[in-house]
Chain A
Amino acid sequence: MATHRDVVCPFCGLGCDDLTVEEDVGRLAVRSTDCPVARERFAHTPPAEPPRVGGRAVPQEDAVRAAAEILRTSRAPLVAGLGTDVAGVRAALALAERVGAVVDHERSEGLYRNLAVFQRSGWIATTFAELRNRCDLLLVVGPDPAALHPRFYERWVVPAPAFQTPALREVIFLCGEPLETTRAVLGGVPFTVVPGEATRIGAVAAELSAALTDPTGAPPEIAGLAQRLRAAHYAVVAWTASGFPGAHADLAVERLARLVQDVNRLTRCAGLPLSGYDNVVGANQVCTWQLGVPLRTSLAGGAPRHDPHRFAWERFQHSADAVLWVSAFRPEVPAFPPGKAVVALAQPGTTFAAEPAVVIPVGTPGIDHAAHVFRGDSIVALRAGRLIDRGLPDAAAVLSAITAALPQEASC
């Protein structure tokens, strides 16, 4: 039995680095928190499995060769999932460049609802420590972020703001109800709920913007909320775009970004778009610095072409003839359309809707190997450590081996 202290949790993007994890013959158990994400993910450490080709166990080299052959002969490959650390994303991009693939992360939909707005109009944003230490009014819009990021309030909202006078904070929930667990953890932090439908987030944000300077005619709860935003020293507007309903949720995000800008004419205010599962923010960062453009990019034509619509993996999987999927954080891989040649780099114990052509089990970043991952607020990168050794390769090594097994001609 060994005890690991101050363990970095790489899973939901909140960047908790204070976990106590007990190890007992290769099994891990989180002892320091009830966070269901951390408890479930750290507990999933089944023994290593051999790679498979066509459902049959093979040596690693054979699986790597088979994967390379599939990608070599593919005319429209998709390299996606990208649930891996910075090193894994680097290796995946190098491979994608060689075979001319489309690249995307499984969780990019929520990220893109935000990025679409950023690319169109920019925004004013903030980070977790600013929220914790400076924010006197937190406006949570839409579904409670704690559903995806369970320790959000405990770590970033409940502590009193150290750099604000008075050192007090209130929380307002708008167009979304706080979870029971949230109500409990907020304890003495005053909070109110301004009810509303999540489908009306954009409209309500626009009403709020208008009421900042002219509250006449606004519903009383909107006029009151506008007044509180005006009176705040440093308001933070937080949202989880992946939970917004509707096909054009980015328009709701755009209204929120505009609201933040409007409040900034009067006092200080900043947005906090929450995302970050499975290092999606890190994958997007690496992609952006290496290619100049973010995820959802095709490398098929030689130069990067970014198209957040066409090259979203859920759309492009239907055009692709081969899929290389990386899922090192979770034992889950989507069911792909029939007839695709699938190469899965996945955790041991992953169940598949249909057996992929090639399966290569890989270790989990922050459990089997040290790993760089990004926090969901996009500024802070963390170094997660290695806790156990199941004899699993990391995704970066497997991806590099596949690239090395390709014929040595240059292509982008």
Chain B
Amino acid sequence: MLTKLAGGRIYDPAQGRDGDIGDLFVRDGRIVADPGTAPDETIDLSGKVVMAGAIDIHSHIAGGKVNLARLLMAEEHRAEPFAAEGLCRCGGGVATPSTHVTGCRYAQMGYTAAFEPAMLASNARHAHLEMADIPLIDTGGYLVLGNDDLFLELLASGAGEAAIADYVGWMLTATRSLAVKSVNPGGINAFKYNQRKLDVDAAGPFHEITPRRILTALAAAVRRLGVPHPLHLHGFNLGVPGNIEATLDSIAAVDGLPLHLTHVQFHAYGVEGDRRFSSAAAQIAEMVNRTPTLSIDVGQIMFGQTVTASADTMAQMGNAGHAHPKKWAVMDIECDAGCGVVPFRYRDKAFVNALQWAIGLELFLLVTDPWRIFLTTDHPNGAPFTSYPELIRLLMDRDYRLAKLAELHPDVPAHCILPSLTREYTLAEIATMTRAAPARSLGLKDRGHLGPGAAADVVVYTDQPDRRAMFEKPDLVFKDGRLIVRDGVVVALAEGRTHVVEPGHDPAIESWIDRRFEARMGQKLAHFRISAEEIRNGDGLVRHDCRPGAF
């Protein structure tokens, strides 16, 4: 079956296409070059905007902390139950949607992939079982390392770079992960010894390893293994005024190795001004603009009720006093990491929240290269992912942005440079930051673009001046060549895939890990390892190449 998508305006930055009119050909779920034969079906896209399926590089969609957040957000689920809509099964939730609601809402917005950025090794099997129940979109998980006692023990033993990389490679493969995440390296572990703060160069308790050492070791291991995505770092002192120093410190700590800083908005705070809370977005942006090995996602906040769910127990315990409603949960997990769940309501009339909003937008507007900044709200921590269309409008429409700014706490304009920023994102830049760039960063060679060989994840929009309306409801969404959404309605269910890497490593590390599992974890290593047949009944793994770096 050959389908021709005819005459659309194609925004495909990976292929250098910036709105030129052209045809796409789809066969067996893939984009193919014009075969010169008559298509079986032609879909006229004249005047329409055509992009690859969007990819969310950082969204908490599955796993233990997400289920804890659903349980804690009992009021939301009582208020927002959803009946089945056609093919979308019933469920509920806005900040903590159920699996079918998650898949359907993403697909309805033109997203065809979303990645869980904080998969704990001990909870990986759960996360995979849950991700398999999210329909329509591809998924994958980033493995959280750097607070696990075994890793800290390995560092403390003086292990060399090769052994550390072997450990990371073994764990990535065993847990079926796509990338390496580190959350407040050393901090979650230190919290288990009642430390509520840990400086970058302070030795942690028990293992006596500094966060800087953890950070450099993980970044080096990722590079050595050739994992496409750089170390995905949730930095230090999340949410604390003045944390810009620690953020710049962590960039310096990796010493030129590739690094991705996630939800940077929460790590871009200064202590200037009469309120001792100020935007440090310009400093971060300046650093990003001159450091080609550095990428960021923003973690934009939007106003309203949400819930923050993070492995960073140290930070979440500190934030628990701000819980709204007034309840929160913290969990220490399996000598591995932890999780903290704190419901939160961002208020536009509160100075701090309003400035957080402005800081996120400043980051978007000041970072010049859309290949190294990704559109996220750190769902659900800054806002639910369903607020992306509104966020896109804020980026593409300065008048709208200024009108919204005028509604906020009156002191905010004087405390930030947002009013002076005139930049408006173009469609090509939106296509880059939501498609081409995340695919390239994650090493997904056949996603995020519309060149021959790509998976036929294609989204068709009507060009509307109201960019929120445009991106809220694409006309057509194709997943692997199959039409899944028409005019906002899910018309076919498709199964997603699970994206993973399996970096080469010396299997000798397994006996070291095995001895420690046997002695400590109360679980056999053979049972810890997740077999390929467990993922989507053995039919769903997509393996991506690793290119080991030179050392």
Give chain B residues whose Cβ lies under 8 Å from the Cβ of A159. 519-520
CB <8 Å contact, A292 and B331: no
Instruction: Looking at the assembled complex, report how far the CB atom of A192 sits from the nearest CB atom of chain B, in whole angstroms.
Output: 24
Which residue of B is nearest A115, CB measured?
Answer: B71
Instruction: Looking at the assembled complex, report how far the CB atom of A389 sits from the nearest CB atom of chain B, in whole angstroms.
Output: 18
Instruction: Looking at the assembled complex, report how far the CB atom of B325 sits from the nearest CB atom of chain A, in whole angstroms.
Output: 10
Give chain B residues whose Cβ lies under 8 Å from the Cβ of A18. 524
Which residue of B is nearest A86, CB measured?
Answer: B129
Pick from A268, A288, A304, A410: contact of B71, CB below 8 A. Answer: A288
Give the docked Cα–Cα distance between A278 and B459 (Å): 45
CB <8 Å contact, B67 and A127: no
Size of interface on B: residues with Cβ below 8 Å to A: 65
A15 lies within 8 A of chain B by Cβ: yes
In residues 515-551 of chain B, which contact A (Cβ within 8 Å)? 519-524, 526-527, 530-531, 534
Give chain A residues whose Cβ lies under 8 Å from the Cβ of B130. 285, 289
User: CB-CB contacts of A127-152 with B at 8 A, as 1s and 0s?
Assistant: 11110111000000000000000000
CB <8 Å contact, A302 and B90: yes
Pick from A163, A304, A374, A382: contact of B92, CB below 8 A. Answer: A304
Which residue of A is nearest B81, CB measured?
Answer: A303
Pick from A120, A121, A380, A412: contact of B122, CB below 8 A. Answer: A380
A392 lies within 8 A of chain B by Cβ: no
User: CB-CB contacts of B95-127 with A at 8 A, as 1s and 0s?
Assistant: 011111100000000000000000010110110
A405 lies within 8 A of chain B by Cβ: no
Which of B92, B120, B122, B332 has most chain A Cβ within 10 Å? B332
A378 lies within 8 A of chain B by Cβ: yes
In residues 56-79 of chain B, which contact A (Cβ within 8 Å)? 62, 64, 66-68, 70-72, 74, 77-78
Instruction: Looking at the assembled complex, report how far the CB atom of A139 sits from the nearest CB atom of chain B, in whole angstroms.
Output: 16
CB <8 Å contact, B332 and A120: no
CB <8 Å contact, B83 and A289: no
CB <8 Å contact, A119 and B72: yes
CB <8 Å contact, B531 and A383: yes
CB <8 Å contact, B133 and A122: no
Give chain A residues whose Cβ lies under 8 Å from the Cβ of B493. none
Give chain A residues whose Cβ lies under 8 Å from the Cβ of B526. 6
Say which size band chain A's interface belongs to: 35 or more
Instruction: Looking at the assembled complex, report how far the CB atom of A227 sits from the nearest CB atom of chain B, in whole angstroms.
Output: 17
Instruction: Looking at the assembled complex, report how far the CB atom of B527 sits from the nearest CB atom of chain A, in whole angstroms.
Output: 5
Give the docked Cα–Cα distance between A165 and B205 (Å): 10
User: CB-CB contacts of A76-99 with B at 8 A, as 1s and 0s?
Assistant: 000000000010001000000100
CB <8 Å contact, B133 and A130: no
B329 lies within 8 A of chain A by Cβ: yes
CB <8 Å contact, A383 and B334: no
A58 lies within 8 A of chain B by Cβ: no
B335 lies within 8 A of chain A by Cβ: yes
Knowing A130-B332, A382-B125, A410-B84, say if A289 contacts B522 (CB, 8 Å): no
Which residue of A is nearest B101, CB measured?
Answer: A292
Give chain B residues whose Cβ lies under 8 Å from the Cβ of A120. 327
Knowing A119-B71, A380-B523, A383-B534, say if A293 contacts B77 (CB, 8 Å): yes
Which residue of A is nearest B125, CB measured?
Answer: A381
Give the docked Cα–Cα distance between A132 and B130 (Å): 28
Give the docked Cα–Cα distance between A133 and B521 (Å): 8
Pick from A90, A122, A234, A288: contact of B327, CB below 8 A. Answer: A122
Instruction: Looking at the assembled complex, report how far the CB atom of A350 sits from the nearest CB atom of chain B, in whole angstroms.
Output: 28
CB <8 Å contact, A130 and B192: yes
B172 lies within 8 A of chain A by Cβ: no
B512 lies within 8 A of chain A by Cβ: no
Give the docked Cα–Cα distance between A290 and B67 (Å): 10
Give the docked Cα–Cα distance between A382 and B524 (Å): 10
Give the docked Cα–Cα distance between A264 and B125 (Å): 30
A233 lies within 8 A of chain B by Cβ: yes
Give chain B residues whose Cβ lies under 8 Å from the Cβ of A293. 70, 74, 77, 81, 92
Query: Would you call the interface of chain B mostly helix, strand, loop, or mixed?
Result: mixed
Give the docked Cα–Cα distance between A129 and B522 (Å): 7
Give chain A residues whose Cβ lies under 8 Å from the Cβ of B81. 292-293, 303-305
Which residue of A is nearest B68, CB measured?
Answer: A118
CB <8 Å contact, A97 and B71: no
CB <8 Å contact, B192 and A268: yes
In residues 255-281 of chain A, which contact B (Cβ within 8 Å)? 264, 267-268, 270
Instruction: Looking at the assembled complex, report how far the CB atom of B207 sits from the nearest CB atom of chain A, in whole angstroms.
Output: 8
Which residue of A is nearest B76, CB measured?
Answer: A292
User: CB-CB contacts of B296-321 with A at 8 A, as 1s and 0s?
Assistant: 00000000000000000000010000
Give chain B residues whose Cβ lies under 8 Å from the Cβ of A118. 68, 71-72, 329
Knowing A118-B71, A233-B194, say if A130 contacts B334 (CB, 8 Å): yes
Give chain B residues whose Cβ lies under 8 Å from the Cβ of A285. 67, 126, 130
CB <8 Å contact, A6 and B524: yes
A397 lies within 8 A of chain B by Cβ: no
B400 lies within 8 A of chain A by Cβ: no
Give the docked Cα–Cα distance between A159 and B84 (Å): 50
CB <8 Å contact, A123 and B329: yes
Pick from B96, B193, B334: contact of A127, CB below 8 A. Answer: B334
Pick from B120, B123, B519: contact of A162, CB below 8 A. Answer: B519
Give chain B residues whose Cβ lies under 8 Å from the Cβ of A119. 71-72, 74
B333 lies within 8 A of chain A by Cβ: yes
Knowing A115-B71, A134-B192, A289-B133, say if A304 contacts B330 (CB, 8 Å): no
Pick from A125, A133, A294: contact of B331, CB below 8 A. Answer: A125
Knowing A122-B329, A162-B520, say if A304 contacts B192 (CB, 8 Å): no
Which residue of A is nearest B317, CB measured?
Answer: A264
Give the docked Cα–Cα distance between A34 and B328 (Å): 40
Give chain B residues whose Cβ lies under 8 Å from the Cβ of A304. 77, 81, 90-92
Give chain A residues whose Cβ lies under 8 Å from the Cβ of B78. 306
B360 lies within 8 A of chain A by Cβ: no
Instruction: Looking at the assembled complex, report how far the CB atom of A288 sits from the nearest CB atom of chain B, in whole angstroms.
Output: 5
Which of B62, B74, B206 has most chain A Cβ within 10 Å? B74
Knowing A129-B335, A293-B92, A294-B71, say if A379 contacts B64 (CB, 8 Å): yes
Instruction: Looking at the assembled complex, report how far the CB atom of B254 sits from the nearest CB atom of chain A, in whole angstroms.
Output: 27
In residues 311-352 of chain A, which contact B (Cβ within 8 Å)? none
Instruction: Looking at the assembled complex, report how far the CB atom of A250 sits from the nearest CB atom of chain B, in whole angstroms.
Output: 14
CB <8 Å contact, B193 and A234: yes
User: CB-CB contacts of A97-122 with B at 8 A, as 1s and 0s?
Assistant: 10000000000000000010011111
Which of B120, B521, B527 has most chain A Cβ within 10 Å? B527
A299 lies within 8 A of chain B by Cβ: yes
Pick from B333, B335, B341, B523: contact of A17, CB below 8 A. Answer: B523
Knowing A133-B149, A379-B126, say if A127 contacts B327 (CB, 8 Å): no
Give the docked Cα–Cα distance between A8 and B530 (Å): 14
Which residue of B is nearest A384, CB measured?
Answer: B527
Give chain A residues whose Cβ lies under 8 Å from the Cβ of B91. 290-292, 304
Give the docked Cα–Cα distance between A412 and B328 (Å): 32
CB <8 Å contact, B123 and A380: yes
Give the docked Cα–Cα distance between A159 and B518 (Å): 12
Pick from A126, A155, A288, A291: contact of B522, CB below 8 A. Answer: A155
Interface residue ranges, B against A (CB under 8 Å) = 62, 64, 66-68, 70-72, 74, 77-78, 81-84, 86, 89-93, 96-101, 120, 122-123, 125-126, 129-130, 133, 149, 191-194, 206, 317, 323, 327-336, 341, 519-524, 526-527, 530-531, 534
A–B pairs, 26, beta carbons within 8 Å = A122-B72, A122-B329, A122-B341, A124-B330, A125-B329, A127-B332, A129-B522, A130-B332, A134-B335, A156-B522, A159-B520, A162-B520, A165-B206, A234-B192, A289-B70, A290-B98, A290-B99, A290-B100, A291-B90, A294-B71, A303-B81, A306-B78, A379-B123, A379-B334, A382-B125, A410-B84
Sample of 5 further A-B pairs with CB below 8 A, known A123-B329, A302-B90: A6-B527, A268-B191, A292-B97, A293-B81, A380-B334
Interface residue ranges, A against B (CB under 8 Å) = 6, 8, 15, 17-18, 86, 90, 97, 115, 118-130, 132-134, 155-156, 159, 162-165, 233-234, 264, 267-268, 270, 285-286, 288-294, 299, 301-306, 372, 374, 378-383, 410-412
Q: Which 7 pairs show the lowest CB-CB distances between chains A and B?
A: A303-B81, A302-B83, A412-B84, A292-B98, A292-B92, A122-B329, A412-B90
